[in-house]
Structures are given as C-alpha cells and as structure tokens.
Amino acid sequence: DVKVTQSSRYLVKRTGEKVFLECVQDMDHENMFWYRQDPGLGLRLIYFSYDVKMKEKGDIPEGYSVSREKKERFSLILESASTNQTSMYLCASSWTGGENTEAFFGQGTRLTVV
Amino acid sequence: QKEVEQNSGPLSVPEGAIASLNCTYSDRGSQSFFWYRQYSGKSPELIMSIYSNGDKEDGRFTAQLNKASQYVSLLIRDSQPSDSATYLCAVTLRQAGTALIFGKGTTLSVSS
C-alpha cells in the first residue's frame, strides 16, 4: 500500500515562529503536493513539486515556502507563523502520466498558531 | 484560473436511494478525473478515477465523464448511512508540472 506520512498530527506554534511540516512518501512518486483545508473553502493548493528541487506555486503560496531535496520528502515551511495560518494541512503524492495518477494523502496536520 | 465547481449541498437522500453528485471543470485540456470521499476529521480517500468519456462502475459507485460538456458525475446506488461524507471532485492535466485541483466538495447526508 502507498504510504504518505506527515510528521505531526497536531501542532501548536506561537505567532512569528518558523514552522516546518514534513511529508514522506514511500512509492517513488514524482509529484508531491501541499494543501490547506478550511471550512467552506475546500482544499486549496499551496505548492507542489514534480521532481527533486522543482517547485511550483499553487493558489495560495504567500507566507509559505517548500523544499524538496530528496524525491521521497517534501517540506512545507511557514517562515513566520501567523494566526491566519491556523488550518488543516494535507500532503499528497502521485505519479505523472498513464492512468494511475491519483493522489494519495497523508493523515493531515492540524496546526494551531496562537 | 483553472476551476472545479461542485454544489456544496448538503445533499440529503434516504437510505437505499441513489445519490447523484456533479462536478464541472474549466480546463478543456484536463485528462484525469477523480472522486474522493472525506469523513469529518479524516483525509480524503480515493473512490473512483475516470479517464475516458462514458461510465465506469465499481460496486455501488458509477462515475460518468463527458469531456465535451466538461462534466463529471458520481452516482451512489443503494445509499447507506455510512456514505454520509463530503465528496471531492479533482481534476488534473496528467502532465509533468501540472497541479491536481479540487472542487470545494459536496456534503452528502444519508438518513436511515
């Protein structure tokens, strides 16, 4: 089975802190995604990566950065956490091409910024 | 701006009925289409994928795709209370460097 693992299930951070959310997948997927999910707003794409060291902005990249130094690991960084970044963060991964391109999700990290 | 639109619901159906969920997308070049189910507090899980025009059936679930109308739907037959969840439609171009875009989801409630 595909496994996508996020480093924390729940996280509480203070305003202004630098926050790292880690995601690891074990299926050699090319693509990795970071989404945030808020009530009524659905899943919004923050950043995605289609190869090592490659990254593309999603719909809401402001206040975030990402790092992908190894194929299996994709990190989301909140440079200076703010209360409006309190949310559920979901990591996902997928293959490119063919007909097996569905994304598999991690368990999610519920981040609270106080 | 690539968009995926869904009715937010809630969609309420009695147990045993057919639930019909709809999704439209804006990018005509889209090639891969997915339906995910998400229970409250949980991550989305894949129910169906569809890549060609027409119907695809898997148990009680049928996905329908009409690329000319840019429309994809999910039918759930013999709906059960355990089907009560939010259903997310997702679309991608299936090319390197392209994102997977989700609709906001439709909440389904199945009453016993």
Q: Give the pLDDT confidence of B32-71 residue by residue, as tens digits.
A: 999 999 999 999 999 999 999 999 999 999 999 999 999 9
The rounded Cα A102 to chain-centroid distance in angstroms is 16
Condensed to tens digits (0 to 9), the pLDDT of residues A24-66 reads 999 999 999 999 999 988 899 999 999 999 999 999 999 999 9
Give the C-alpha separation, A53 to A69, whole Å. Answer: 6
For residue B45, give every residue at least 6 positions away whose Cβ sits within 8 Å of its Cβ, in sequence order, or none: A105, B36, B37, B38
Identity of the residue numbered B89: C
Q: What residues in B contact A106, CB-CB < 8 Å? A: 43
Per-residue model confidence (pLDDT) at position B80: 97
| Measured distance CA(B46)–CA(B33) in Å, rounded | 11
Establish, for the pair of chains A and B, how many residue pairs have beta carbons separated by less than 8 Å: 65
pLDDT of residue A56: 92
CB contact A77 to B (< 8 Å): no
Task: Return the bridge partners of A88, or none.
Answer: A37, A110
Residues A11 and A27: their CA atoms lie apart, in Å, by 26
Q: Let me know how many helices (H) and strands (E) chain A has, helices first.
A: 0, 11
Partners of B46 in the β-ladder: B36
Measured in angstroms, the CA of B67 and the nearest CA of chain A are apart by 16
Q: Which sign does the torsion angle of CA B29, B96, A58, A14 carry?
A: positive
* pLDDT, tens digit (0-9, with 9 covering 90-100), for A55-103: 999 999 999 999 999 999 999 999 999 999 999 999 999 987 767 778 9
Q: How many CB atoms lie within 10 A of CB B54?
A: 9
Q: How much is the pLDDT for A17?
A: 97
| Cross-chain CB nearest to A41 (options B32, B46, B104) | B104
